Structure 1
Amino acid sequence: MAILLPYQNLGCCNGLFCVLKNSRKRAEIFQEIYLWNPSTRTSKKLPVISSPGYVRNYGFGWVESSDEYKVFVLLFHYDYYRGIGNWVGKVYSSKTKSWKTIELSGYLRVSWGRGVFAGGKLYWKNYGDKEGITFWDLKSEVFGGIELPFDREGYGIVGVLGGLLCVLCFNDEIRGYRVWVMKESWEKVVTLSHLLELLQPPLVKGLNGDILVNCGSTVVVYDCRDNVFCNLEYRSFSLSCHVCVESLVSPKDL
């Protein structure tokens, strides 16, 4: 049985969060999407998506050239009478303040959940026999793909570090992780030894080389020079951490 979480973070960009609110009435599931600015404590409920189905993949980002925010959701609806599933892509634009349907070229073999936003694109890790990363360009609204930066290392987790696309991958030989970032090409930037419980790539890298990482139940500061880390005070059963900057952008204008 699937667990219905009351809130899901669809993405964070320029100090704004895009949040999915789930609720259940009898046998039906209702999903509402909000834009929220925690700095100003203001929010806006987006128009209801007309297509049936539940949100499987999602992302939120900004088109710099047009100063336009976009929300992408991939909906899945299963027709029990006909025995088939239907995939629908929807995009909300802050310019039109409405949703539109986009073309999907077949089934997208991407991991469930949030696409990370970097450089005007949303990125998801692929799964199955098509290893790599799928991206959706917010400006052109087309899909594309890039290869992973490694051959013999473990499963990669896609994230953002310093505004750049990054991949966290487990390496059996060092019993730790390596972090790659995409500049002109993939570059290995840091190795995290002795950390075996990472749920997402590093959040922030400081000028002195220390980095902030999420270790599942706690957040730690990792010293790459001495290969040591210290736990921060906050601890929880499960953490989802995001970097957010203060912003005066009003969701009501989007």
Structure 2
Amino acid sequence: MSSCVVDLPEDIIVKILCRLPVKSLIRFTCVSKRWRSLIISDPKFGKSHFQFASQQKTLRRKVLLTSYPAVIEPGSTPNACYDGSWKKWAEDKFITLFQSLDDKFSVKNFTFPSEEIEDLEEMGSCNGLVLVGRPCRDHYKSLFIWNPSTGFFRKIPHPSFRMKSGRYFLNYGFGHVSASDDYKLVSVVPAPNDMLEVHIFSLSANIWKVITAPYSSYPCWVNRHGTFSNGAIHWVTPCGNKTLDPVIYAFSLAEEEFRRVPLPPVLWQNEEDRNPTKITTLVHLGGYLCIWSRKCFDTQGGEVWAMTEYGVPESWVKLFQFNIHDFRNVFDVEQSPWDLCFITEGDTMVLRLNKELLWIECRNEEKPVCSGRYRLEKVQPKLSNLAFYFRATIYDETLVSVAE
């Protein structure tokens, strides 16, 4: 019986490949140079594959772990790397380590495609592209766009900030404009004459542009890292201001302008001057704009709210309220510094503490339950005064790239 090789048309092959998972496609890059170029380097194919996976709800999401050592200042507490009284190791250079963690807790180590790998941080992710850099107080030392799934990598030129006094903090965010299929990095800094400079980098145009806005849009945002949701980057103003109610400032990436998004008034109606409420935006994998509310000087728990209809103040709903003492059987709540990383599509909280990630299920009035935990492997040498610090965020496993 003779064998028969069917030579399929190119468009049919592309349609078939678009329906396969990223993991399989990466293996198929060894079939031929054409397949490798298509899968790894073709932005059009990467976009088509992402759109199909999004429509079919087959996108795989992984946790990106970014870890690096930090030196504890003399006289500081053992938890100093979490309360800000730590500094980066300066004399002996230690590289930043990147790892992925899937839903079965299997770990993959990445080789970052640049020699500039000291003190890098993950600064945001969108559609599988991760913004990586070294954001200092008032400037950047390095900026990159990276797809961990394919190795796609681009260095971003540094913006030119007019003010470099070291007296303000650089605020930033990263997201996607659906209408123009462009990815944008936004950096917000004060400018002379009580104005605000918004530096916007377009990946498709490969240039920075600068627009100005009234300084009143920037009283003092709680987090430097803005959260991307519904086409905009979001920051929260602090509570405790007797003249201004706390509000979310959203910068639309399409219109390139600020707008205000109201917060639930119940969060600060009984505000105490000595212990104000701290509100920060969160990543919710269901696509909602999400916030975490807790007291500044009370780390015992908090409330998580979601805006179920974007831009509609009446659509804020409280997803859950939790107290850290409910987790006494999971970890030492008195000694372990912790942070809330993100919320899954199923409304599961992912907490970071010491060298662990915890998946916490909160259902109605029932007690929170720990449904999963992962402890980071020891990846740094033991040295005196050396603490271990890591971040955890979510990224989509995609083939997305952006041509220069």
SS in 1 for 2:179: helix
Unaligned runs of 5+ in 2: 1-84, 89-117, 269-276, 310-314, 326-332, 379-387
Question: Among the aligned pairs, what percent are the same residue?
Answer: 26
Residue in 2 that maps onto 1:65: 179
- Residue-pair matches, total: 239
Residue in 1 that maps onto 2:340: 200
Instruction: Pick closer, same or farther for the CA change 1:97–1:30 going to 2, 3 Å.
Output: closer
Tell me if structure 1 keeps the 8 A contact 2:359–2:372.
Answer: yes
CA distance in 1, matches of 2:250, 2:293: 19
Question: 279, 292, 299: which one pairs with 1:156?
Answer: 279
Tell me if structure 1 keeps the 8 A contact 2:199–2:208.
Answer: yes
SS in 1 for 2:124: strand
Kindly indicate which of the two structures has a greater share of residues assigned to strand: 1
Tell me if structure 1 keeps the 8 A contact 2:222–2:280.
Answer: no
Instruction: Pick closer, same or farther for the CA change 1:85–1:112 going to 2, 3 Å.
Output: farther
Residue in 2 that maps onto 1:105: 214
Which runs of structure 2 are paired with 1:235-254 in the superposition (5 Å)?
Answer: 235=376, 237-251=388-402, 253=403
Where in structure 1 do 4 or more consecutive aligned residues deviate above 4 Å?
Answer: 1-5, 84-87, 195-198
State the shift of 1:230 in Å: 5.4
Kindly indicate which of the two structures has a greater share of residues assigned to helix: 2
Which runs of structure 2 are paired with 1:1-254 in the superposition (5 Å)?
Answer: 3=87, 6-21=119-134, 31-52=141-162, 53=164, 56-75=170-189, 88-107=197-216, 108-109=218-219, 110-127=221-238, 129=241, 130=244, 131-152=246-267, 154-161=277-284, 162-170=286-294, 176-184=301-309, 185-194=315-324, 198-200=338-340, 202-206=342-346, 211-217=348-354, 218-225=356-363, 226-229=367-370, 232-235=373-376, 237-251=388-402, 253=403
Instruction: Pick closer, same or farther for the CA change 1:85–1:142 going to 2, 3 Å.
Output: closer
State the shift of 1:144 in Å: 1.2
Q: TM-score, normalised by structure 1?
A: 0.80
CA distance in 1, matches of 2:130, 2:141: 16
Instruction: Pick closer, same or farther for the CA change 1:6–1:67 going to 2, 3 Å.
Output: same
Pair member with larger Rg: 2
Unaligned runs of 5+ in 1: 24-28, 79-83
CA distance in 2, matches of 1:152, 1:118: 21
Tell me if structure 2 keeps the 8 A contact 1:214–1:239.
Answer: no
State the shift of 1:94 in Å: 2.2
Tell me if structure 1 keeps the 8 A contact 2:307–2:316.
Answer: yes
Q: Structure 2: which amino acid aligns with 1:227?
A: P
Superposition RMSD on alpha carbons, in Å?
Answer: 3.3
SS in 1 for 2:214: coil
CA distance in 2, matches of 1:67, 1:30: 25
